[in-house]
Structure 1
Amino acid sequence: MLKQSLQQKLLQKLSPQQIQFIKLLQVPTVSLDARIKEELEENPALEDMSLTNMNEPAEEYPDKDPEDNYNEEEQGSEGDEFNVDDYLQEEDVNDYGNNLNNSSDDEEDRKEMPIAIQNSFFENLQQQLDLLALNDKDFLIGQQIIGSLDDDGYLRRPILSLIDDLAFSQNVMATEEEVEEILKIIQTFDPAGVGARDLQECLLIQLRKKDQDNPVIREAILVVENYLDEFTRKHYDKLEKALNINSDELKKIVDEILKLNPKPGDAGSASEKQLHIIPDFHITNNDGILILTLNAQNAPELRVSRSYQEMFEHYDKAAQKDKKMKEAVQFVKQKLDSAKWFIDAIKQRQQTLLKTMNAIMNYQYTYFLTGDERNLKPMILKDIADKIDMDISTVSRVANSKYVQTEFGTFLLKSFFSEAIQTDSGEEVSNKEVKKILEECIANEDKRKPLADEKLTEILKEKGYTIARRTVAKYREAMNIPVARLRKKL
Structure 2
Amino acid sequence: MLKQTLQQKLLQKLSPQQIQFIKLLQVPTASLDTRIKEELEENPALEDGSLTNMSDPVEEYPDKDPDDYDKNEESFDDEFSVEDYIQEDDYKDYGSNYSADDEDEQREIPIAIQDSFFEKLQSQLDLLALSDRQYLIGNQLIGSLDDDGYLRRPILSLIDDLAFSQNVMAEEHEVEEMLHVIQAFEPAGIGARDLQECLLIQLRKKDQNNPVVRQAIRVVQNYLDEFTKKHYDKIEKQLDVNSEELKEIVNEILKLNPKPGDSASVAGKQLQIIPDFHISNDDGVLHLTLNGRNAPELRVSRSYQDMFEHYEKAEKNDKKMKEAVQFVKQKLDSAKWFIDAIKQRQQTLLKTMNAIMEFQYDYFLTGDDRMLKPMILKDIAEEIDMDISTVSRVANSKYVQTEFGTFLLKSFFSEAIQTDSGEEVSNKEVKKILEECISNEDKRKPLADEKLTEILKEKGYTIARRTVAKYREALNIPVARLRKEL
1:295-346 Cα deviation digits (max 9, x unpaired) = 1111111111111110111112225642221221111111111111111111
Alignment of 1:116-195 (within 5 A): 116-195=112-191
Query: Offset of 1:414 from its aligned partner?
Result: 0.4
Distance, in Å, in 1 between the alignment partners of 2:150 and 2:269 is: 17
Task: Say whether residues 1:36 and 2:36 are aligned partners.
Answer: yes
Which letter maps to 1:481?
A: I
Query: Offset of 1:95 from its aligned partner?
Result: 5.4
Query: Offset of 1:28 from its aligned partner?
Result: 1.1
Alignment of 1:69-468 (within 5 A): 80-90=78-88, 93=91, 96-100=94-98, 102-105=99-102, 107-318=103-314, 321-468=317-464
User: Measured at CA, do residues 385 and 58 of structure 1 come closer, stay the same or move farther in structure 2, by a change above 3 Å?
Assistant: closer
Query: Offset of 1:145 from its aligned partner?
Result: 0.7
Distance, in Å, in 1 between the alignment partners of 2:216 and 2:352 is: 56
Q: Is the 8 A contact 1:204 1:224 kept in 2?
A: yes
Query: Offset of 1:91 from its aligned partner?
Result: 5.1
Q: Is the 8 A contact 1:451 1:484 kept in 2?
A: yes
SS of aligned partner of 2:169? coil
Q: Is the 8 A contact 1:109 1:296 kept in 2?
A: no
Structure 2, unaligned stretches of length 5 or more?
56-76
Distance, in Å, in 2 between the alignment partners of 1:179 and 1:409 is: 50
Q: Is the 8 A contact 2:49 2:93 kept in 1?
A: no
Which letter maps to 1:20?
A: Q
Distance, in Å, in 2 between the alignment partners of 1:136 and 1:14 is: 60
How many residue pairs are counted as aligned between the two chains?
466
Moved more, 471-480 or 281-290: 281-290
Q: What is the aligned-residue identity percentage?
A: 82
Distance, in Å, in 1 between the alignment partners of 2:291 and 2:12 is: 34
SS of aligned partner of 1:133? coil
SS of aligned partner of 2:299? strand
Moved more, 38-47 or 266-275: 266-275
Distance, in Å, in 2 between the alignment partners of 1:89 and 1:260 is: 66
Q: Is the 8 A contact 2:100 2:293 kept in 1?
A: no
SS of aligned partner of 1:270? helix
User: Measured at CA, do residues 320 and 215 of structure 1 come closer, stay the same or move farther in structure 2, by a change above 3 Å?
Assistant: closer
Query: Offset of 1:96 from its aligned partner?
Result: 3.4
SS of aligned partner of 1:173? coil
1:342-388 Cα deviation digits (max 9, x unpaired) = 11111111101100000000000111111111110000000000000
User: Measured at CA, do residues 58 and 458 of structure 1 come closer, stay the same or move farther in structure 2, by a change above 3 Å?
Assistant: closer
SS of aligned partner of 1:291? strand
Which letter maps to 2:433?
A: I
Q: Is the 8 A contact 2:92 2:299 kept in 1?
A: no
Structure 1, unaligned stretches of length 5 or more?
60-78
Query: Offset of 1:9 from its aligned partner?
Result: 2.4
Distance, in Å, in 1 between the alignment partners of 2:276 and 2:101 is: 14
RMSD between superposed Cα atoms in Å: 1.7
Distance, in Å, in 2 between the alignment partners of 1:292 and 1:96 is: 19
SS of aligned partner of 1:86? helix
1:369-408 Cα deviation digits (max 9, x unpaired) = 1111111000000000000000101100110111111111
1:400-434 Cα deviation digits (max 9, x unpaired) = 11111111111110000000000111110000000
Q: 2:480 aligns with which of 474, 479, 484?
A: 484
Given the two structures, how large is their TM-score scaled by the length of structure 1?
A: 0.92
User: Measured at CA, do residues 320 and 258 of structure 1 come closer, stay the same or move farther in structure 2, by a change above 3 Å?
Assistant: closer
1:59-106 Cα deviation digits (max 9, x unpaired) = 9xxxxxxxxxxxxxxxxxxx8231222222445845532223x2243x
1:154-197 Cα deviation digits (max 9, x unpaired) = 11111111111111111111111011111111111111100110
Residue in structure 1 matched with residue 72 of structure 2 by the alignment: none
Which letter maps to 2:335?
A: A
Residue in structure 2 matched with residue 72 of structure 1 by the alignment: none
SS of aligned partner of 1:47? strand
User: Measured at CA, do residues 94 and 134 of structure 1 come closer, stay the same or move farther in structure 2, by a change above 3 Å?
Assistant: same
Residue in structure 1 matched with residue 62 of structure 2 by the alignment: none
SS of aligned partner of 2:189? coil
Q: Is the 8 A contact 1:109 1:297 kept in 2?
A: no
Distance, in Å, in 2 between the alignment partners of 1:133 and 1:139 is: 9
Distance, in Å, in 1 between the alignment partners of 2:337 and 2:235 is: 69
Distance, in Å, in 1 between the alignment partners of 2:101 and 2:123 is: 46
Distance, in Å, in 2 between the alignment partners of 1:15 and 1:292 is: 32
Structure 1 segments (4+ residues) deviating >6 Å: none
Query: Offset of 1:33 from its aligned partner?
Result: 1.4
User: Measured at CA, do residues 183 and 104 of structure 1 come closer, stay the same or move farther in structure 2, by a change above 3 Å?
Assistant: closer
Which letter maps to 2:21?
A: F
Q: Is the 8 A contact 1:89 1:303 kept in 2?
A: no
Moved more, 386-395 or 25-34: 25-34
SS of aligned partner of 1:211? coil
User: Measured at CA, do residues 389 and 323 of structure 1 come closer, stay the same or move farther in structure 2, by a change above 3 Å?
Assistant: same
Q: Is the 8 A contact 2:93 2:299 kept in 1?
A: no
Distance, in Å, in 1 between the alignment partners of 2:207 and 2:263 is: 22
